[in-house]
Amino acid sequence: MNDRLKTAQRKVVNESGIEIQQLYTAQDVQASGGDAMLGQPGAYPFTRGIHAEMYRKQPWTMRQYTGFGNAADTNQRFKYLIANGQTGLNVAFDLPTQCGLDSDDPLADGEVGRVGMAIDTLRDFEIAFDGIDLDKVTVSLTINGAAVVLIAMYLAMAERRGFDLKSLRGTAQNDILKEFIGRGTWIFPVQPSIKLVGDTIEYCAQHAPKYSPVSVCGYHIRESGANPVQEMAYAFCIAKAYADEVIARGLSVDEFAGRLSFNFNIFGSLFEQVAKFRAGRGLWAKIMHEQYDAKKPGSMWLRMIAGGGGGGLTFEQPELNVVRGAYYALISALSGAQTMALCCYDEAYTIPSEYAQRISLRTMQLLIEEMGLCDTVDPMGGSYYIETLTNQMRTDMERVMADVDARGGIKKLVASGEVQADVSRQAYQRQLDIDSGTFRKVGVNCYKIEEKDPQVEFHPYNLADAQAQVTRLNEVRQTRDAAAVATALQAVQQAARSGTNVMPAVVEAVKAYASVGEITQVLTGVFGHYQEPVNVY
């Protein structure tokens, strides 16, 4: 028998550093803080859920991260997923688009359409969403550094198709601070980047009040090495930085906070993950109520998308990822997420196939139709273990946030690279623990099987698609009104130099079919490029 299974008495510490007791009672709940931050679903502090009826009224929105090749390819995958019951779209963009490069830029060579959909002009958005009813299917744009351009394109496309921007729903990731920490598709320095996020929040509050211009992402920070407590705490510090930026412009918190959303990760202990989200809901409500004096309940809601993280999946024995995905979906449902973005079993090594995406979609549908996850609100509530862990994790989240403030705040720590260094150190230590077997990963360092090469299928890279994308970009350039483009780009430059909100000018530029790269180049001419600090410890 495996030594782990034989050992009856052993010390257990979860990823967040909390020691787990052998048994929990009502006394443990009281010792950890009691029921003070519990309440009822739909009521402050929303620990048990932001809606009173939760999934009894409406199941979670089902999204999957989707996008590859060009706009036409992605449009077909969108329609396939919608036909199979998906209720939301989560759009992946290729690296050139994410970095503000046009498809014919020399730096884009070999990357056009590789890991997401290539977007150069409004024409691509028109093709990608052709035949998609934006009143019935909400769209999430996974874009950050170039978010001002892509949000402008989405709004312009929707308006041209006759959708009312006042009622248009959707989300843009647009969380640039986490890019400095966890992904690296930044373009501008830290302060101008935050300014641009503020521009999108302010613009949408005025013109598209039901659109969520920011989805603050603990997800990627967790993927980069943060533990579950840090994932939430850093995300809340980032969200506060954006809120402070907008409030400094004269908007009240209740004018925009209800459209802030969050993107969180799921992998690891089921109980730790459920407690993490319950703790996060209560803490965010407390922050908005006590620190920002929010009055509207919706301003205090932790509106979140949660799904399995790719960091939890494995290349080894990839079929086990189907099982992992089912548990990630279960955690998301038990946690009270509004949107579930379940990863696919092949996402550990490639762009998901239609077959893999259908399995993930069916997994979410099984929870709704067969497993009873929509039958009652907060089914884990009242567990001595869960309530104790919820209180402990909320206390630790507050401790991490206080430490960030004591060290100068999240903007300073990101600009100096200190947060990046902390997270990278933890990621390195975790890999050492996996290599040594201290942190156990089924199929990787325990219960392994001898196999020379796992039988996996990789998504092919189609060079012809990339060439077709460049051809379409050139056609747009030849047929658009060059004078109108030049005038629009000049207006973008003037707005950036004057410090006013650039969104109105960017919207007009995309309507003139100015490209992602052209608009980004104008903005970098004013703001400059971010230079990543190198910290040696």
Q: How far apart are CA 439 and CA 433, in angstroms?
A: 5
Q: Which of 46-60, 149-163, 394-408, 452-466 has the lowest mean pLDDT?
A: 452-466
**Residue 8 banded pLDDT, cuts 50, 70, 90:** low
Q: How far apart are CA 13 and CA 9, in angstroms?
A: 13
In this prediction, residues 252-281 reach a mean pLDDT of 97
CA 536 to chain centre: 29
Q: What is the pLDDT of residues 62-116, one digit of tens each?
A: 998 888 889 999 999 999 999 999 999 999 999 999 999 999 999 999 999 999 9
Question: Which of 474, 488, 411 lies closest to 149 in space, CA to CA?
Answer: 488
Q: What is the pLDDT of residues 482-502, one digit of tens each?
A: 999 999 999 999 999 999 999
Q: So what's the pLDDT on residue 426? A: 95
Sign of CA dihedral 477, 481, 487, 488: negative
Q: How would you classify the pairing of strands 19-20 and 12-13?
A: antiparallel
CA distances (Å), 175 to each of 87, 171, 218, 309, 345, in order? 23, 11, 10, 17, 26
Does the structure show a pLDDT above 70 at 19?
yes
Task: Kindly state the helix (H) or strand (E) to which residue 277 belongs, with its residue range.
Answer: helix 270-286
Q: How far apart are CA 185 and CA 69, in angstroms?
A: 19
Helix locations, 298-377, DSSP H: 320-335, 354-369
Q: Is 36 exposed, middle or buried (0-12, 13-18, 19+ CB in 10 A)?
A: exposed
pTM of the prediction? Answer: 0.95
CA distances (Å), 432 to each of 77, 416, 427, in order? 39, 26, 9
Task: State the residue for tokens 């907008």.
Answer: 246
Q: So what's the pLDDT on residue 1? A: 44
Per-residue HEC secondary structure of 425-476 comes to HHHHHHHHHHHHCCCCCECCCECCCCCCCCCCCCCCCCHHHHHHHHHHHHHH
Q: How far apart are CA 424 and CA 417, in angstroms?
A: 10
CA distances (Å), 471 to each of 100, 103, 104, 235, 468, in order? 18, 10, 9, 40, 5
**Residue 442 banded pLDDT, cuts 50, 70, 90:** very high
User: Residue 484 has which token pair?
Assistant: 């109108």
In this prediction, residues 432-457 reach a mean pLDDT of 88
Percent of the chain with pLDDT over 70: 98
Higher pLDDT, 10 or 233: 233
DSSP-assigned letter for residue 268? S
Task: Kindly state the helix (H) or strand (E) to which residue 385 belongs, with its residue range.
Answer: helix 384-406
Does the structure show a pLDDT above 60 at 153?
yes
DSSP-assigned letter for residue 287? I
Per-residue HEC secondary structure of 465-533 comes to HHHHHHHHHHHHHHHCCHHHHHHHHHHHHHHHHHCCCCHHHHHHHHHCCCCHHHHHHHHHHHHCCCCCC
Q: So what's the pLDDT on residue 320? A: 95
Q: How far apart are CA 120 and CA 116, in angstroms?
A: 13
Return mean pLDDT, the chain: 94
Q: What is the pLDDT of residues 37-64, one digit of tens each?
A: 999 999 999 999 999 999 999 999 999 8
Q: So what's the pLDDT on residue 350? A: 86
Does the structure show a pLDDT above 50 at 241?
yes
Beta bridge mates, 61:
339
Q: So what's the pLDDT on residue 204? A: 97
Task: Kindly state the helix (H) or strand (E) to which residue 211 belongs, with its residue range.
Answer: strand 211-212
CB 173 within 8 A of CB 263: yes
Beta strands across the sheet bearing 170-172: 65-66, 88-92, 138-142, 170-172, 211-212
**Phi, psi dihedral angles at 63 (to 5 degrees):** -125, 155
Q: So what's the pLDDT on residue 456? A: 73
Q: Which of 171-180, 221-230, 394-403, 449-458 has the lowest mean pLDDT?
A: 449-458
Sign of CA dihedral 263, 269, 273, 279: negative
Q: How far apart are CA 114 and CA 460, in angstroms?
A: 9
Q: How would you classify the pairing of strands 138-142 and 170-172?
A: parallel
